[in-house]
Structure 1
Amino acid sequence: MLSGVSHAIFRPARREDVPAIVALLNDDAVARSRGIGHGIGPELWTAFAAIDADPNNELFVAELDGELVGTWQLTFIPGLSRNGGERAQIEAVRVAESHRNQGIGRAMVTWSVERAKARGCKLVQLTTDKRRADAHRFYASLGFTATHEGFKLALP
Protein backbone atom coordinates (compact mmCIF):
# COMPACT_ATOMS: atom_id res chain seq x y z
CA MET A 1 0.00 0.00 0.00
CA LEU A 2 1.19 3.46 -0.82
CA SER A 3 0.65 6.49 1.37
CA GLY A 4 -0.68 9.79 0.15
CA VAL A 5 -1.99 12.78 2.04
CA SER A 6 -2.22 12.29 5.82
CA HIS A 7 -3.67 8.83 6.14
CA ALA A 8 -5.01 8.39 2.60
CA ILE A 9 -3.88 5.18 0.90
CA PHE A 10 -3.16 4.90 -2.82
CA ARG A 11 -3.58 1.40 -4.17
CA PRO A 12 -4.36 -0.44 -7.39
CA ALA A 13 -8.07 -0.67 -8.06
CA ARG A 14 -9.78 -4.01 -7.53
CA ARG A 15 -12.83 -5.38 -9.31
CA GLU A 16 -15.04 -4.63 -6.31
CA ASP A 17 -14.00 -0.95 -6.57
CA VAL A 18 -15.55 -0.50 -10.01
CA PRO A 19 -18.98 0.75 -8.81
CA ALA A 20 -17.34 3.41 -6.60
CA ILE A 21 -14.96 4.40 -9.42
CA VAL A 22 -17.87 4.82 -11.83
CA ALA A 23 -19.68 6.97 -9.25
CA LEU A 24 -16.58 9.19 -8.93
CA LEU A 25 -16.27 9.46 -12.72
CA ASN A 26 -19.89 10.58 -12.95
CA ASP A 27 -19.75 13.04 -10.06
CA ASP A 28 -19.71 16.29 -12.04
CA ALA A 29 -21.67 18.24 -14.63
CA VAL A 30 -19.13 17.71 -17.43
CA ALA A 31 -19.31 13.92 -17.08
CA ARG A 32 -23.10 14.01 -16.86
CA SER A 33 -23.22 16.07 -20.07
CA ARG A 34 -21.54 13.15 -21.85
CA GLY A 35 -24.48 10.92 -21.09
CA ILE A 36 -22.49 8.43 -19.04
CA GLY A 37 -24.83 6.22 -17.10
CA HIS A 38 -24.44 5.05 -13.52
CA GLY A 39 -25.06 1.40 -14.27
CA ILE A 40 -22.27 -1.13 -14.52
CA GLY A 41 -22.81 -2.93 -17.80
CA PRO A 42 -20.66 -5.61 -19.40
CA GLU A 43 -18.61 -2.99 -21.26
CA LEU A 44 -17.27 -1.56 -17.99
CA TRP A 45 -16.38 -4.98 -16.62
CA THR A 46 -14.59 -5.80 -19.88
CA ALA A 47 -12.73 -2.49 -19.75
CA PHE A 48 -11.67 -3.07 -16.15
CA ALA A 49 -10.42 -6.57 -16.99
CA ALA A 50 -8.40 -5.20 -19.93
CA ILE A 51 -6.84 -2.44 -17.80
CA ASP A 52 -6.10 -4.89 -15.01
CA ALA A 53 -4.39 -7.34 -17.40
CA ASP A 54 -2.29 -4.74 -19.25
CA PRO A 55 1.13 -3.96 -17.72
CA ASN A 56 1.06 -0.54 -19.42
CA ASN A 57 -2.19 0.48 -17.71
CA GLU A 58 -2.73 1.07 -14.02
CA LEU A 59 -5.98 2.10 -12.40
CA PHE A 60 -5.66 3.46 -8.87
CA VAL A 61 -7.90 4.54 -6.04
CA ALA A 62 -7.33 6.83 -3.09
CA GLU A 63 -8.84 5.39 0.06
CA LEU A 64 -9.46 7.36 3.24
CA ASP A 65 -10.84 5.64 6.34
CA GLY A 66 -12.16 2.79 4.20
CA GLU A 67 -13.92 5.09 1.72
CA LEU A 68 -12.82 5.49 -1.90
CA VAL A 69 -12.33 9.24 -2.30
CA GLY A 70 -10.33 9.39 -5.52
CA THR A 71 -9.41 7.55 -8.68
CA TRP A 72 -7.12 7.94 -11.67
CA GLN A 73 -5.58 5.93 -14.47
CA LEU A 74 -1.93 5.91 -15.46
CA THR A 75 -1.03 4.61 -18.91
CA PHE A 76 2.51 4.10 -20.19
CA ILE A 77 2.87 4.72 -23.91
CA PRO A 78 5.95 3.56 -25.79
CA GLY A 79 6.92 5.67 -28.78
CA LEU A 80 9.69 6.63 -31.13
CA SER A 81 9.51 10.33 -30.38
CA ARG A 82 11.59 11.64 -27.50
CA ASN A 83 14.36 9.26 -28.53
CA GLY A 84 12.23 6.19 -27.88
CA GLY A 85 11.27 7.27 -24.37
CA GLU A 86 8.00 6.24 -22.84
CA ARG A 87 5.42 8.81 -21.88
CA ALA A 88 2.97 8.50 -19.03
CA GLN A 89 -0.61 9.57 -19.59
CA ILE A 90 -2.60 10.54 -16.48
CA GLU A 91 -6.32 10.48 -17.02
CA ALA A 92 -9.71 10.25 -15.38
CA VAL A 93 -8.48 12.02 -12.25
CA ARG A 94 -11.38 12.42 -9.85
CA VAL A 95 -11.68 13.29 -6.19
CA ALA A 96 -15.01 13.02 -4.39
CA GLU A 97 -16.60 16.44 -4.06
CA SER A 98 -16.65 16.12 -0.27
CA HIS A 99 -12.86 15.64 -0.23
CA ARG A 100 -11.74 18.26 -2.76
CA ASN A 101 -9.31 21.03 -1.82
CA GLN A 102 -7.67 18.88 0.85
CA GLY A 103 -4.53 17.94 -1.11
CA ILE A 104 -5.64 14.47 -2.20
CA GLY A 105 -5.70 15.27 -5.93
CA ARG A 106 -2.33 17.01 -5.67
CA ALA A 107 -0.87 13.97 -3.93
CA MET A 108 -2.36 11.61 -6.53
CA VAL A 109 -0.85 13.51 -9.46
CA THR A 110 2.50 14.08 -7.72
CA TRP A 111 2.68 10.39 -6.86
CA SER A 112 1.95 9.51 -10.51
CA VAL A 113 4.71 11.82 -11.76
CA GLU A 114 7.16 10.15 -9.39
CA ARG A 115 6.03 6.72 -10.59
CA ALA A 116 6.62 7.81 -14.19
CA LYS A 117 10.10 9.09 -13.33
CA ALA A 118 10.95 5.81 -11.60
CA ARG A 119 9.88 3.92 -14.72
CA GLY A 120 12.13 6.13 -16.87
CA CYS A 121 9.42 8.03 -18.71
CA LYS A 122 10.55 11.12 -20.61
CA LEU A 123 7.22 12.96 -20.39
CA VAL A 124 4.03 13.01 -18.36
CA GLN A 125 0.95 14.26 -20.15
CA LEU A 126 -2.71 14.66 -19.47
CA THR A 127 -5.76 16.20 -21.02
CA THR A 128 -8.65 17.94 -19.38
CA ASP A 129 -11.93 19.14 -20.80
CA LYS A 130 -11.86 22.79 -21.87
CA ARG A 131 -14.85 23.43 -19.58
CA ARG A 132 -12.85 22.46 -16.46
CA ALA A 133 -11.27 25.83 -15.59
CA ASP A 134 -10.55 24.76 -12.00
CA ALA A 135 -8.73 21.67 -13.27
CA HIS A 136 -6.63 23.84 -15.62
CA ARG A 137 -5.50 25.99 -12.70
CA PHE A 138 -4.85 22.88 -10.61
CA TYR A 139 -2.62 21.22 -13.22
CA ALA A 140 -0.78 24.49 -13.90
CA SER A 141 -0.06 24.77 -10.17
CA LEU A 142 1.63 21.35 -10.42
CA GLY A 143 3.93 22.54 -13.21
CA PHE A 144 2.00 21.25 -16.22
CA THR A 145 1.85 23.61 -19.20
CA ALA A 146 -0.78 23.79 -21.94
CA THR A 147 1.49 23.15 -24.92
CA HIS A 148 -0.81 21.47 -27.42
CA GLU A 149 -4.32 21.75 -28.78
CA GLY A 150 -6.08 18.40 -28.57
CA PHE A 151 -8.59 17.01 -31.02
CA LYS A 152 -11.05 14.17 -30.55
CA LEU A 153 -13.37 12.34 -32.86
CA ALA A 154 -16.26 10.52 -31.23
CA LEU A 155 -17.01 7.23 -32.96
CA PRO A 156 -20.47 5.64 -33.15
Structure 2
Amino acid sequence: MILRPATRADLPAVLALLADEEKVVDPASVVVTPAYERAFADIEGDPRNEMLVLVDRELVVGCLQATYVPGLGRGGAERALIEAVRVRADRRGGGLGRELMTRAVERARARGCALIQLTSDKRRTEAHRFYASLGFARSHDGFKRAL
Protein backbone atom coordinates (compact mmCIF):
# COMPACT_ATOMS: atom_id res chain seq x y z
CA MET A 1 0.00 0.00 0.00
CA ILE A 2 1.37 3.39 -0.99
CA LEU A 3 0.21 6.74 0.34
CA ARG A 4 1.22 9.58 -1.96
CA PRO A 5 0.05 12.97 -3.18
CA ALA A 6 -2.55 12.62 -5.90
CA THR A 7 -1.59 13.42 -9.47
CA ARG A 8 -3.82 14.83 -12.17
CA ALA A 9 -4.19 11.27 -13.51
CA ASP A 10 -5.75 10.26 -10.15
CA LEU A 11 -8.45 12.95 -10.32
CA PRO A 12 -11.19 10.74 -11.84
CA ALA A 13 -10.57 8.06 -9.20
CA VAL A 14 -10.69 10.62 -6.38
CA LEU A 15 -13.89 12.14 -7.73
CA ALA A 16 -15.37 8.64 -8.01
CA LEU A 17 -14.61 8.02 -4.33
CA LEU A 18 -16.24 11.32 -3.38
CA ALA A 19 -19.28 10.76 -5.61
CA ASP A 20 -20.91 7.99 -3.59
CA GLU A 21 -19.84 6.41 -0.31
CA GLU A 22 -22.18 3.45 -0.59
CA LYS A 23 -21.14 2.02 -3.94
CA VAL A 24 -18.14 1.81 -6.23
CA VAL A 25 -18.27 4.42 -8.97
CA ASP A 26 -16.28 3.71 -12.13
CA PRO A 27 -13.71 6.51 -12.53
CA ALA A 28 -14.22 6.32 -16.30
CA SER A 29 -17.82 7.50 -15.78
CA VAL A 30 -16.77 10.64 -13.90
CA VAL A 31 -16.92 13.95 -15.73
CA VAL A 32 -13.91 16.07 -14.79
CA THR A 33 -15.23 19.60 -15.19
CA PRO A 34 -13.10 22.74 -15.49
CA ALA A 35 -14.08 23.58 -11.90
CA TYR A 36 -12.59 20.27 -10.69
CA GLU A 37 -9.49 20.91 -12.79
CA ARG A 38 -9.04 24.36 -11.21
CA ALA A 39 -9.62 23.06 -7.69
CA PHE A 40 -7.12 20.26 -8.16
CA ALA A 41 -4.54 22.65 -9.62
CA ASP A 42 -5.03 24.96 -6.63
CA ILE A 43 -4.56 22.09 -4.16
CA GLU A 44 -1.54 20.75 -6.03
CA GLY A 45 0.08 24.19 -6.23
CA ASP A 46 -0.40 25.11 -2.56
CA PRO A 47 2.28 23.89 -0.12
CA ARG A 48 -0.31 23.96 2.68
CA ASN A 49 -2.68 21.57 0.91
CA GLU A 50 -2.41 18.02 -0.30
CA MET A 51 -4.83 15.51 -1.73
CA LEU A 52 -3.46 12.13 -0.70
CA VAL A 53 -4.34 8.81 -2.27
CA LEU A 54 -3.89 5.32 -0.90
CA VAL A 55 -2.92 3.05 -3.78
CA ASP A 56 -2.96 -0.75 -3.91
CA ARG A 57 -1.31 -2.13 -7.08
CA GLU A 58 -2.15 0.99 -9.12
CA LEU A 59 -5.78 1.09 -7.86
CA VAL A 60 -6.77 4.15 -5.83
CA VAL A 61 -8.55 2.64 -2.81
CA GLY A 62 -8.69 5.70 -0.55
CA CYS A 63 -8.17 9.43 -0.37
CA LEU A 64 -8.19 12.41 1.92
CA GLN A 65 -7.38 16.09 1.75
CA ALA A 66 -5.02 17.59 4.33
CA THR A 67 -4.78 21.33 4.80
CA TYR A 68 -2.10 22.71 7.08
CA VAL A 69 -3.34 25.77 8.90
CA PRO A 70 -0.97 28.23 10.57
CA GLY A 71 -2.16 29.77 13.81
CA LEU A 72 -1.13 31.76 16.80
CA GLY A 73 -2.60 29.27 19.26
CA ARG A 74 -0.54 26.37 20.59
CA GLY A 75 2.67 28.34 20.43
CA GLY A 76 2.30 29.25 16.77
CA ALA A 77 2.18 25.63 15.63
CA GLU A 78 0.36 24.47 12.54
CA ARG A 79 -2.68 22.25 12.75
CA ALA A 80 -3.76 19.74 10.15
CA LEU A 81 -7.33 19.82 8.91
CA ILE A 82 -8.43 16.50 7.38
CA GLU A 83 -11.41 16.34 5.05
CA ALA A 84 -12.85 14.21 2.23
CA VAL A 85 -11.76 10.91 3.79
CA ARG A 86 -12.97 8.03 1.66
CA VAL A 87 -12.23 4.33 1.14
CA ARG A 88 -13.71 2.39 -1.78
CA ALA A 89 -16.98 0.78 -0.75
CA ASP A 90 -15.79 -2.68 -1.81
CA ARG A 91 -12.57 -2.38 0.22
CA ARG A 92 -13.98 -1.29 3.59
CA GLY A 93 -13.57 -3.35 6.71
CA GLY A 94 -10.02 -4.47 5.98
CA GLY A 95 -8.11 -1.73 7.80
CA LEU A 96 -7.50 0.60 4.85
CA GLY A 97 -9.21 3.55 6.55
CA ARG A 98 -7.11 3.02 9.66
CA GLU A 99 -3.96 2.84 7.54
CA LEU A 100 -4.93 5.97 5.60
CA MET A 101 -5.60 7.98 8.76
CA THR A 102 -2.55 6.62 10.62
CA ARG A 103 -0.30 7.69 7.78
CA ALA A 104 -1.97 11.11 7.59
CA VAL A 105 -1.33 11.56 11.32
CA GLU A 106 2.33 10.59 10.80
CA ARG A 107 2.67 13.14 7.97
CA ALA A 108 1.19 15.89 10.13
CA ARG A 109 3.42 14.97 13.06
CA ALA A 110 6.51 14.97 10.82
CA ARG A 111 5.51 18.41 9.57
CA GLY A 112 5.38 19.67 13.17
CA CYS A 113 1.63 20.05 13.54
CA ALA A 114 0.41 20.37 17.12
CA LEU A 115 -2.96 18.76 16.44
CA ILE A 116 -5.21 17.27 13.80
CA GLN A 117 -8.81 18.20 13.43
CA LEU A 118 -11.36 16.84 11.03
CA THR A 119 -14.89 17.43 9.97
CA SER A 120 -17.50 14.80 9.24
CA ASP A 121 -21.13 15.10 8.24
CA LYS A 122 -23.37 14.50 11.26
CA ARG A 123 -25.18 11.72 9.37
CA ARG A 124 -21.99 9.62 9.03
CA THR A 125 -22.34 7.85 12.39
CA GLU A 126 -20.18 4.86 11.37
CA ALA A 127 -17.40 7.25 10.38
CA HIS A 128 -17.71 8.95 13.77
CA ARG A 129 -17.21 5.63 15.58
CA PHE A 130 -14.21 4.98 13.36
CA TYR A 131 -12.63 8.37 14.14
CA ALA A 132 -13.24 7.84 17.87
CA SER A 133 -11.46 4.46 17.62
CA LEU A 134 -8.43 6.35 16.29
CA GLY A 135 -8.36 8.67 19.30
CA PHE A 136 -10.25 11.63 17.86
CA ALA A 137 -12.54 13.30 20.40
CA ARG A 138 -15.65 15.38 19.83
CA SER A 139 -14.33 18.60 21.27
CA HIS A 140 -16.17 21.33 19.36
CA ASP A 141 -19.36 22.02 17.50
CA GLY A 142 -18.82 23.26 13.98
CA PHE A 143 -20.90 25.59 11.89
CA LYS A 144 -21.08 26.08 8.13
CA ARG A 145 -22.82 28.62 5.97
CA ALA A 146 -23.33 28.23 2.25
CA LEU A 147 -22.33 31.27 0.21
TM-score exceeds 0.5: yes
Aligned length, in residue pairs: 140
Matched, 1:9 2:2: yes
Q: Distance in 2 between matches of 1:150 and 1:53?
A: 28
TM-score (norm 2): 0.92
- Check whether the contact 2:65–2:84 (CA below 8 A) recurs between aligned residues: yes
- Check whether the contact 2:43–2:49 (CA below 8 A) recurs between aligned residues: yes
Report SS of the residue matched to 1:137.
helix
Aligned-residue identity in percent: 55
Q: Distance in 1 between matches of 2:115 and 2:127?
A: 20
RMSD: 1.0
Matched, 1:71 2:63: yes
Quote the residue 2:119 is aligned against.
127
Q: What is the 5 A alignment of 1:57-136?
A: 57-136=49-128
TM-score (norm 1): 0.87
Quote the residue 2:142 is aligned against.
150
Q: Distance in 1 between matches of 2:98 and 2:44?
A: 24
Matched, 1:25 2:29: no
Q: Distance in 2 between matches of 1:133 and 1:58?
A: 26
How far apart are 1:28 and its partner, in Å? Answer: 2.4
Quote the residue 1:41 is aligned against.
33
How far apart are 1:12 and its partner, in Å? Answer: 1.1
Q: Distance in 2 between matches of 1:39 and 1:153?
A: 27
In structure 1, runs of 5+ residues without a counterpart are 1-7, 30-37
